[in-house]
Amino acid sequence: MKALTDRFVPQQRSPSPPTHLVSSDSEHSDNKCTLWSTSSSVSQPYREPSSTSGRKQLCAATWTSFVKKVSMASGAIKRFQDRVLGPNRTGLPSTTSDFWLLGVCYKLSDDEETDDGSVVAALKQDFSSRILMTYRKGFEPIKDTSYTSDVNWGCMIRSSQMLFAQALLFHRLGRSWRNKNSEVSSVQPEQEYLETLEPFGDSEASAFSIHNLILVGETYGLAAGSWVGPYAICRSWESLACKKRKQSDSLPMAIHIVSGSEDGERGGAPVLCIEDVIKSCVEFSRGEDEWAPLLLLVPLVLGLDRVNPRYIPSLKATFTFPQSLGVLGGKPGASTYIVGVQEDNGFYLDPHDVQQVVTVNKETLDVVDTSSYHCNVLRYVPLESLDPSLALGFYCRDKGAFDDLCLRASTLAEESKGAPLFTVTQTHSLVNHHSSCEFVEDREEEHGEEDDWQLL
CA–CA separation, 412 and 214 (whole Å): 35
CA–CA separation, 200 and 198 (whole Å): 5
Max intra-chain CA distance, the chain: 87
Q: Identify whether 71 is part of a domain.
A: no
Supply the pLDDT for residue 234. Answer: 96
Regions of the chain with pLDDT less than 50: 1-53, 55-56, 58-60, 62-75, 79, 262-267, 430-436, 438-456
- Contact between 334 and 86 (Cβ < 8 Å): no
CA–CA separation, 318 and 329 (whole Å): 14
CA–CA separation, 330 and 427 (whole Å): 33
Q: Which domain holds residue 408?
A: 126-425
Q: Identify whether 111 is part of a domain.
A: no
CA–CA separation, 386 and 184 (whole Å): 37
Convert the chain into a string of H (helix), E (strand) and C (coil): CHHHHHHHCCCCCCCCCCCCCCCCCCCCCCCCCCCCCCCCCCCCCCCCCCCCHHHHHHHHHHHHHHHHHHHHHHCHHHHHHHHHHCCCCECCCCCCCCEEECCEEECCCCCCCCCCCHHHHHHHHHHHHCCCCCEEECCCCCCCCCCCECCCCCHHHHHHHHHHHHHHHHHHHCCCCCCCCCCCCCCCCCHHHHHHHHHHCCCCCCCCCHHHHHHHCHHHCCCCCCCCCHHHHHHHHHHHHHHHHHHCCCCCCEEEECCCCCCHHHCCCCEEEHHHHHHHHHHHCCCCCCCCCEEEEEEEECECCCECHHHHHHHHHHHHCCCEEEEEEEECCEEEEEEEEECCEEEEECCCCEEECCCCCCCCCCCCCCHHHCCCCCEEEEHHHCCCEEEEEEEECCHHHHHHHHHHHHHHHHCCCCCCCCEEECCCCCCCCCCHHHHHHHCCCCCCCCHHHHCC
Q: Are strands 254-257 and 135-137 parallel, antiparallel or unpaired?
A: unpaired
Give pLDDT tens digits for 81-112: 555 566 668 889 888 899 999 999 999 987 65
Domain count for the chain, please give it. Answer: 1
Report which residue type is found at 361: N
Q: What is the pTM of this model?
A: 0.77
Q: Identify whether 345 is part of a domain.
A: yes
Q: Identify whether 231 is part of a domain.
A: yes
Kindly tell me the burial class for residue 63, based on how many C-beta atoms sit within 10 Å of its own C-beta (0-12, 13-18, 19 or more). Answer: middle
Supply the pLDDT for residue 21. Answer: 33
Closest CA to 36 of 21, 20, 15: 21
CA–CA separation, 123 and 83 (whole Å): 29
Q: Identify whether 65 is part of a domain.
A: no
Report which residue type is found at 147: Y
Q: Identify whether 270 is part of a domain.
A: yes
Residues labelled catalytic = 155, 350, 352
Q: Is the four-CA dihedral 118, 344, 80, 389 of positive or negative sign?
A: positive
Task: Give the dihedral of Cα atoms 447, 448, 452, 454; nearest 10 deg.
Answer: 100
- Contact between 13 and 61 (Cβ < 8 Å): no
Supply the pLDDT for residue 222. Answer: 93
- Contact between 179 and 147 (Cβ < 8 Å): no
Q: Identify whether 320 is part of a domain.
A: yes
Q: Identify whether 112 is part of a domain.
A: no
